[in-house]
Amino acid sequence: MPTPLEMQRTFALVGTGGCGKTSLAEMLLFNAGAVTRMGAIEDGTTSLDYEPEEVRRRGSVQPACAAYLWNKNRHFLLDIPGDGNFTGDMECLLKGVDSVLFVLDAVDGVRPLSKKFWSMVRAENLPAMIIINKLDRDRADFHMAFDGLAALGVKPVALQVPIRQGEAFVGVVDVLTGKARMFTENGGSSEAEIPADLTDDVSLLRDVTVENIAESDEVLMEKYLEEGSLSLEDLQFGLRKGVLSGELTPVMVCSALENKGGKAVLDAVEALLPSPLERPAFVDAAGAERAPDPDGPVACFVFKTLADPFAGQLSILRVLSGTINGDATLKNMRSEDTERLGSLLYLVGKNQTPCKEPVGPGAIVAVAKLKNTRTGDTLCDEKAPFALPMPELPPQLITYALAPKEKGEEDKVYAAIQRLLDEDITLKLGRDEENGDILLSGMGQLHIELSVEKAKRRFKIDIVLKTPKVPYRETVRGKCQVQGRHKKQSGGRGQFGDCWIEMEGLPRGSGYVFEDAIVGGVIPRQYIPAIDKGVQEAAARGFLAGCQVVDFRVKVYDGSYHTVDSSEMAFKVAGSLAFKKAMEGLKPVLLEPIVLLTVSIPDESMGDVIGDLSSRRGKVLGSDSQAGITEIKAHVPMSEVLRYAPDLRSMTGGQGFFTMEFDHYEEAPQPVAEKVIAEHQAAKAAE
């Protein structure tokens, strides 16, 4: 008899937004008896999309977990959002599972973002099955979706062919057994004859499927060549072996909305995907391995932190090795704190059930109110230290300035957003050193807007989102020599500082260089750093548009001082005055930041997207097309793509996605510079 761990499954649902992952999860949970009724996205009643922001926008914004029993065996699923705004932590989440159900939409098939997600699944070496969902839709096309899998570079093995009558999805043909099953009520099915119009299709697919399975195992290949066929047992053995090795990817079909095909998917998960005992050993940063052994030393990886209105902070962890219960006391390898776990909880969305038995490798459980544990931490037996490396997160794509609706509540805004960072590691909070603004960076406009909405709801504070501030810079060309002289006498000790500087522009990216060329002690040594500081502070305030001045050299070469009235403060002011005089004589220019934009789109959208990039002053660097998906690289001014996401979504029917990273600064065209300077002067006048 197999042990419970041998029959346990821990898997993630991965796919692009709108492909029906959450509905698929709902169908699986309903058929497994984990929920008593099937909720619907449209009604906001699904088990896993329970945050108000998810209900309102009808889509997942955070991952959700569910534990269920199938054939009396414990399984764990993790539903990962598919919108690019909310997938920045996907690599971290994938470390919590042993396999993946990769979900595609039968209407749209493989989308550009699908390719990115699939590469992440493959990078983690996770066995996977592909589920083609939404076969109930009018324009559903199984063959289009199946043929499109070539774009993912997989060897697909079709296990089912859909049976449609008109526009209705009424059954499936099991390719390996050659039997048809027609759907009945409540997710059931009954055996039937294969429709005549599908006989040839099924026969052809079966031949390809058998060959692919045979090729995954040398013994089976020899048997197939000798006998010309394989038994059903041989095929099932070879299929599972190929899935575990990553060589084969089974493909199944369903309609989650109509509860059709759910039980077959549950059976396939149990029959084909790996148990936690079958996954490779985990490896730490030093290369040390930790096998998923229930009798080994304990190690748990915290892959997500959630805020619960009743329990407070919930740490969701996956047991890597060993066996734990609520009495376990473990060491946090990052903070070196000792944490007592307390009650272990099974989750089905926001619903929590106490876990009464010890749990071993592969289990996903939640623990409340750990002292100093956050996402990415490893908790382990103090006597057997082990830490799973935290994957590097992608850079944030957009930054907004935040302000309270009521003045004086800046600290409250900062504290509210800071608490969100505990559960969303893809957010970044900071302050603008130039103007003191609170800055929130994230993976897209929608990510920022929903995060602020969540903070408003939870912490009862009104927050205003201000237009993203573009980090323009100023620089100079040429060279000049000027005097900065500060003299003030108002009774008593005066102030005196006098310096001559030479200032010149440097090549782009050189930064700021200060050179001390004083000889003969005309300015005492202790005052030279003050001149440097005065120049730097004035440069930070800018000259044209309040933007930091960059890429210039200042050489202080002459000056004078007063034995009584000179001071560091006086020479700091003198340095500042010299800088301003030099800027007046050097005709400064405005620099704008240029980003490297990488856009992945369907081939048919290429013309629209390139035309749009040109209208944004973009310079296309090149493009590459493969299996119906085009990747375009372009240099574009940052100011032109601050709100690019909704425009790209509109141009590509929601199928395009992009990444961007800062690349370099370029001189801004005259009309752009004039507009930025005018806005700065208007804001200054308003103050």
For residue range 153-168, what is the model confidence (pLDDT) as tens digits?
A: 888 999 999 999 888 9
Stretch 389-396: mean pLDDT: 84
Per-residue pLDDT for 434 more than 60? no
pLDDT of amino acid 669: 94
Contact between 311 and 289 (Cβ < 8 Å): no
Stretch 77-97: mean pLDDT: 91
Same domain, 16 and 43: yes
pLDDT of amino acid 29: 96
CATH of the domain at 305: 2.40.30.10
> CA 562, 564, 566, 569: dihedral to nearest 10 degrees?
-170
Q: Which of 469, 486, 518 is the last residue of a domain?
A: 469
| Unique residue bearing structure tokens 């070496």 | 125
Per-residue pLDDT for 403 more than 50? yes
Per-residue pLDDT for 105 more than 50? yes
**Nearest-angstrom CA–CA distance, 450 and 51:** 11
pLDDT of amino acid 1: 41
- Examine residue 387 and state whether it is found in any structural domain, yes or no: no
Contact between 313 and 374 (Cβ < 8 Å): no
Band of the pLDDT at 435, cuts 50, 70, 90?
Answer: low
Best CA proximity match to 102, nearest among 83, 118, 90, 81: 118
Stretch 411-426: mean pLDDT: 86
Same domain, 307 and 222: no
Range of the domain at 621: 590-672
CATH of the domain at 432: 3.30.70.870
pLDDT of amino acid 616: 95
3-state per-residue secondary structure call for 433-501: CCCCCEEEEECCHHHHHHHHHHHHHHHCCCEEEECCCCCCEEECCCEEEEEEEEEECCCCCCEEEEEEE
> In this prediction, what percent of the chain has a pLDDT beyond 70?
98
Per-residue pLDDT for 626 more than 60? yes
Same domain, 510 and 447: no
Burial, 246: exposed, middle or buried (Cβ in 10 Å; 0-12, 13-18, 19+)?
middle
- Examine residue 392 and state whether it is found in any structural domain, yes or no: no
Same domain, 564 and 607: no
Please give the mean pLDDT across all residues of the chain: 90
Burial, 471: exposed, middle or buried (Cβ in 10 Å; 0-12, 13-18, 19+)?
middle
- Examine residue 277 and state whether it is found in any structural domain, yes or no: no
Per-residue pLDDT for 432 more than 80? no
**Nearest-angstrom CA–CA distance, 542 and 539:** 5
> In this prediction, what percent of the chain has a pLDDT beyond 90?
56
Per-residue pLDDT for 654 more than 90? no
Per-residue pLDDT for 664 more than 60? yes
CATH of the domain at 488: 3.30.230.10
> How many domains does the chain fold into?
5
**Nearest-angstrom CA–CA distance, 89 and 7:** 28
- Examine residue 681 and state whether it is found in any structural domain, yes or no: no
Residues with Cβ within 8 Å of 7's Cβ and at least 6 positions away in sequence, in order, are: 71, 73, 270, 275
Burial, 30: exposed, middle or buried (Cβ in 10 Å; 0-12, 13-18, 19+)?
buried
Stretch 565-585: mean pLDDT: 94
Same domain, 267 and 296: no
CA-based angle 248:250:255, to the nearest 5? 160
| Unique residue bearing structure tokens 């403060």 | 569
Stretch 507-528: mean pLDDT: 92
One DSSP character per residue, 136-189 reads TSTT--HHHHHHGGGGGT--EEE-EEEEEETTEEEEEEETTTTEEEEE-GGG-E
Band of the pLDDT at 433, cuts 50, 70, 90?
Answer: low
What's phi and psi for 606, nearest 5 deg? -60, -45
Same domain, 333 and 420: no
pLDDT of amino acid 166: 83
Q: Between the CA of residue 138 and those of 108, 142, 164, 165, 261, what are the distances in Å?
A: 12, 12, 11, 11, 18
- Examine residue 393 and state whether it is found in any structural domain, yes or no: no
Token pair of 108 as six digits:
């749209």
- Examine residue 679 and state whether it is found in any structural domain, yes or no: no
Contact between 265 and 23 (Cβ < 8 Å): no
pLDDT of amino acid 2: 52
CATH of the domain at 594: 3.30.70.240
**Nearest-angstrom CA–CA distance, 407 and 397:** 28
**Nearest-angstrom CA–CA distance, 518 and 203:** 90
Contact between 305 and 314 (Cβ < 8 Å): yes
- Examine residue 388 and state whether it is found in any structural domain, yes or no: no
Same domain, 214 and 320: no
pLDDT top residue among 403 and 573 = 573
Stretch 74-97: mean pLDDT: 92
Q: Which of 218, 238, 272 is the last residue of a domain?
A: 272
Stretch 411-438: mean pLDDT: 82
pLDDT of amino acid 652: 87
**Nearest-angstrom CA–CA distance, 334 and 647:** 41
Stretch 108-131: mean pLDDT: 91
CATH of the domain at 196: 3.40.50.300
Same domain, 257 and 299: no
Same domain, 108 and 201: yes
Q: Which of 272, 307, 336 is the last residue of a domain?
A: 272
- Examine residue 385 and state whether it is found in any structural domain, yes or no: no
Minimum mean pLDDT range among 416-425, 473-482, 568-577? 416-425
Minimum mean pLDDT range among 80-94, 236-250, 357-371, 464-478? 464-478
Same domain, 492 and 429: no
For residue range 174-202, what is the model confidence (pLDDT) as tens digits?
A: 999 989 999 998 888 888 889 888 998 88
Question: Residue 373, SS3?
Answer: coil
Same domain, 546 and 569: yes
Per-residue pLDDT for 309 more than 70? no
Token pair of 420 as six digits:
């969100």
pLDDT of amino acid 331: 94
pLDDT of amino acid 310: 67
Per-residue pLDDT for 469 more than 70? yes
| Unique residue bearing structure tokens 């340095």 | 575
Same domain, 404 and 369: no
**Nearest-angstrom CA–CA distance, 384 and 534:** 55
